[in-house]
Amino acid sequence: MNCKFNRSTLNLFYKLINGRVYYSADLWRARRRASHVLWVAACIVLFISSCSTKNRSGKKIFHYNEYTGIASLDPAFAKNQSTMWPAHQLFNTLVEIDDSLNISPSIATRWEISDDKRVYTFYLRQDVLFHNDACFPQSKGRRLIASDVVFSLNRIIDPSTASPGAWIFNGKADSIQPFTALNDTVFQLKLLQPYQPILGILSMQYCSIVAPEAVRLYGKDFRQHPVGSGPFKFVKWEEGQALIFGKNEHYFEEDSTGNRLPYLDGIKISFKDSRATEFLLFRQGQLDFINELDPSFKDEVLTKKERFAIYGKIKSNCKPSLI
């Protein structure tokens, strides 16, 4: 079975920051000739992955448990790991950080920096669509344009939003007009002074591009009814029980052979607050990975042969194709 994960929700950047360890359910379910054994001396940052499991309908659904719960699906409040992960599946940013910690294009295909390094001009893709939702005419998602980027970034620094990420542009972005849409496909960012890490800032989940119509329609309820352009779309959330994302059939990214992403049909997140229950479900194959294995189970896991791969956005390339 060939597993491949293409973009970076759980990219190396996040792994370095969060220092989490993940154990694949594949350790228990798949009889593989894996040769990697984990040993932690001080701090380990690995993501051990498996392919998703099929549900009764035959669809490929990736299951994981969020032990700490999820407070909001609004990226303006993506301040910790539990909120960053789902935000990364639902939304896109102008740029992103790849597995080698390099800035790479996402919604922006390219960018130019002025000679004084205070003006960044981004050229946007023209094939990015928001998810279908009732906030749009005929419930059909429209094309994402530069004014949506302006709206989303202004929303972060708007005091009425009360985003914990408002600090990211403090003392950096121009105080008069930091964000400008020159036309539908060109966005411009002005800085007070040169600030080299600004592209890294723009890759943060706080800077996800949201649909203005959805924010206006749902207001505070946008936290539980998000509308973005990511590889997965919001389906249902029973708080404390389960959160379900479905495949975005109109997602713009393709793999190296031209197959449209994502490969998975969906993601289901459970909220079991018992580590013992979580581990039991993991062993039974009902979860595809667990987060922060309880120390009481570590010996049981580390004595097994393991297969692992570091990956980013949850897009399993299992065969047969999930498309």
Query: Do residues 208 and 239 touch, judged by C-beta distance below 8 A?
Result: no
What was the pLDDT predicted at 292?
72
pLDDT for position 55: 61
Output 194 or 320, whichever has higher pLDDT.
194
Burial of 164 (0-12, 13-18, 19+ CB in 10 A): middle
CATH code of domain 92-223: 3.90.76.10
Mean residue pLDDT of the chain comes to: 80
Residue 180 has pLDDT above 60, yes or no: yes
Mean pLDDT over 226-241 rounds to 96
Decide: helix, strand or coil at residue 137. Answer: helix
CA distances from 84 to 74, 113, 242, 243 (A): 10, 28, 17, 14
Give pLDDT tens digits for 104-161. 999 999 999 999 999 999 999 999 999 999 999 999 999 999 999 999 999 999 999 9
Segments making up each domain of the chain, as ranges: 1-69+240-323, 92-223
- Quickly state the pLDDT bin for 101 (edges 50, 70, 90): confident
Name the amino acid, one letter, at 161.
T
Task: For residue range 9-55, list pLDDT tens digits in order.
Answer: 344 323 332 333 333 343 333 322 232 323 232 223 233 334 445 66
Would the pLDDT of 103 be above 70? Answer: yes
User: How high is the pLDDT of residue 217?
Assistant: 98
254-267 pLDDT, tens digit per residue, is 988 999 999 999 99
Indicate the pLDDT class of residue 87, thresholds 50, 70 and 90: very high
Range 85-98 average pLDDT: 95
- Strand, coil or helix: 299: helix
pLDDT at residue 9, as a whole number: 38
**Would you state the pLDDT for residue 289?**
80
**pTM for the structure as a whole:** 0.79
Q: Are 287 and 49 in contact (CB under 8 A)?
A: no
